[in-house]
Amino acid sequence: MKKMRLLQGNEACAAGAIAAGVRFFGGYPITPSTEIAETMARDLPSVGGHFIQMEDEIGGMGVVLGASLAGKKVLTATSGPGFSLKQELIGYAACAEIPVVIVNVQRVGPSTGQPTSPSQGDVMQARWGTHGDHPMIALSPWTVKETFDAAVMAVNYAERFRTPVILLMDEIIGHLRENVQLPETAELNIYPRRKPVKTRAEGYEPYKPEADMVPNPADFGTGYHIHVTGLVHDYTGFPSGSPVVTEEFIDRLHKKIAIAQDEITHYDAFFMDDAEYAVVSYGGVARTAYEAVRQAREKGLKVGMIRLMTIWPFADKIIRKTADKVKAILVPELNYGQLKYEVERAAMGKCPIKLLAKYNTEIFTPTEILTAITSLKGEF
């Protein structure tokens, strides 16, 4: 029988990444993500991997991109202020199609904010905190076990789509401790590093997309002599100023994710069969929301819940379907209101969307959410 372990969210994140094949971590310590770096520093060398503490967050991002290009699966971890600093190179990774996972254990902001307090204030930063426009994949786990799974999934998506993937955690999950039973590595589906399918003699072009719209640039040191740049480039990998190449390139970056959207948009639906009202929630807040919905059911209220694991790309379809069915949706968030607008957009006016915002360093109590659910019935 597999061993139960009392594990923290941040530790589960590190364990999941290593299980998914991550062998290189670079970063800069920042609360409340630090235990990820500390766990990597301790555990990576024993599997032959490398940990490096860089001089700043930008260096932390640069070093993992270099290591990824040299063939390693890579991870970096930070919190909101560090995430802002990394954004130039997140854009670089998207443009040069370098697999990388960036963990953001959110804290209250803006600026240095409230370092040890929970928040969900970086939902929009995860999507749009970049220059130019490119798509983003962001996953937000709600349990310690799922943090392990989400780390595995994030590494797999980074490798499969050759793109930066954000693991958008919050302090509630990062510092939560739960008893978990982790799977053996052999039980996991691990997406391998993509390799060139043609030789140079056969006319290999490093940035020519395959059928899934993703290219296979060779790892450095494998004899292909490829050129990697953050400039817009053609299939050869070299910069191009052509409007046609530029348009096709940016279009492809978006479409390679869009065509797989249904597959990578994960969510749970609870009590939704006969629900007249719904709560849409994610991350640590979803735990409280679930308890509130359960209590509402005990009181005989017909309330259901959608728990989003994939934040980006956004779960338009399920939200639209939910909005078609219920009288109103409640979105509790530990911020001034961010995902609420996405829910509103996806609902397309089919039902009213009500925000329950909290941004005072404290987490929701089930009673607060239950009260908001109860008032939905009065309002809509």
Partner 1 sequence: MMERTYEKYFRQNRLPHIWCPGCGNGIVMKAIVQAVEKEKLSRDNTVIVSGIGCSSRASGYMDFDTLHTAHGRAIPFATGIKLANPELNVIVITGDGDCTAIGGNHFIHGARRNIDLTVVLFNNTIYGMTGGQASPMTPLHKKATTAPYGSVDRPFNACYLAQAAGAAYVARSTAFHVQHLTDMIADGISCEGFSFIEAIVQCPTAYGRKNKLPDPADMMKWMRDSAVMKSAWDKLPEEKKTDKFPIGLFYKHKFVEYTKAYDEVIKAAQGGNK
How far apart CA 212 and CA 255 sit, in angstroms, is 9
* Distance set, CA 188 to CA 20, 103, 215, 243, 329 (Å): 8, 21, 24, 43, 36
- CB-nearer residue toward partner 1: 85 or 124: 85
- Interacting positions 234-293 with partner 1 (CB under 8 A): 238-239
Residue 60 carries which side chain, given as an amino acid letter?
G
Residue 81 interacts with partner 1 (CB under 8 A): yes or no: no
Residue 352 interacts with partner 1 (CB under 8 A): yes or no: no
The interface region with partner 1, picked from 69-77, 193-201, 277-285, 348-356 by CB under 8 A, is 69-77
β-sheet with 303-308: strand ranges across? 267-270, 303-308, 277-282, 328-333, 353-357
| CA angle, 157 then 95 then 130, to 5° | 90
- Least distance to partner 1 from the beta carbon of 260, Å? 28
Q: Which member of 113, 230, 337, 352 binds partner 1 (CB under 8 A)?
A: 230
Residue 70 interacts with partner 1 (CB under 8 A): yes or no: yes
- Least distance to partner 1 from the beta carbon of 274, Å? 53
**Block residue for tokens 């799977």:** 183
- CB-nearer residue toward partner 1: 56 or 212: 56
Q: Between 196 and 225, how does the x/- string for binding to partner 1 read (CB under 8 A)?
A: ----------------------x-xxxxxx
Q: Which member of 48, 300, 349, 378 binds partner 1 (CB under 8 A)?
A: 48
* Distance set, CA 342 to CA 123, 313, 314, 346, 366 (Å): 10, 11, 8, 6, 24
Q: What is the 3-state secondary structure (H, E, C) of 287-325?
A: HHHHHHHHHHHHCCCCEEEEEECEEECCCHHHHHHHHHH
Size of the site for partner 1 (CB under 8 A): 46
- CB-nearer residue toward partner 1: 160 or 233: 233
- Least distance to partner 1 from the beta carbon of 306, Å? 38
How far apart CA 178 and CA 186 sit, in angstroms, is 23
- Least distance to partner 1 from the beta carbon of 95, Å? 10
Residue 59 interacts with partner 1 (CB under 8 A): yes or no: yes
How far apart CA 90 and CA 87 sit, in angstroms, is 5
- Least distance to partner 1 from the beta carbon of 43, Å? 8
Is residue 100 within 8 Å of 77, Cβ to Cβ?
no
Q: Which spans of this chain sit near partner 1 (rule: CB under 8 A)?
A: 23-24, 26, 42, 45-46, 48, 50, 52, 54-56, 58-72, 74, 88-89, 92, 218, 220-231, 238-239
